[in-house]
Amino acid sequence: MTDVADPPVDVRDVAEIDMSVPAEGAYLSVLRTAAAGLAARLNFTLDDIEDLRIAVDEACSILLAQAIAGSRLTCAFHMTEDSVTVRASVRATSPRIPSRDGFSWTVLTALTSRVEFDIRSPDLLLIELSHQRPVVGLA
C-alpha cells in the first residue's frame, strides 16, 4: 500500500469556510483543529500551523470571556494561496475591545500578521486575524 498525498488546494474551490459552535471552552478544540488543518492544506510550515492554531485559541478565548451564556461562537476562515484570515465573533451583553497592553494582545500580535477587534451592532464582538505564509527569498 502506498501513501498518496492530498492534491494541492485550489483556493477558488474552498475560499471560505464558516463554522458555528456553542460559546463554551470545550469546543475550542474544533476551531483550533480546523485552523491547523486549513493551514496544512495550504502548505504552511509546521511552525506557522502551530502559530495559527495558538492564535485562534487565544482569540476565541478572549471572545468567550464576554460571550452571552448559551450563545454561539461563529468563525469564518478565508483562504488565499498564502494566507488564512480568521473572523470570529460572539454576542456579548456589553462588548468591550480587549486592552492592547495585556498578555493576550502580545500573543496575538506575535503569532499573526494582523489582528483587529471591532464591535458591530450593540452586542457583537468581532476579532479578525490573518496569518501570512512567509515569502521565501531567492538566494
Query: Higher confidence at residue 89 or residue 8?
Result: 89
pLDDT attached to residue 139: 45
Q: Which of 93, 97, 98 is nearest to 123 (CA)?
A: 93
Model confidence band, residue 6 (pLDDT cutoffs 50, 70, 90):
low
- 35 with 84: CB under 8 angstroms? yes
pLDDT attached to residue 138: 45
Residue at grid coordinates 468563525: 75
Distance CA 38, CA 106 (A): 24
Has residue 5 got a pLDDT over 80?
no
Domain ranges of the chain: 16-132
> Looking at the domain covering 16-132, what would its CATH class be?
alpha beta
Prediction pTM value: 0.84
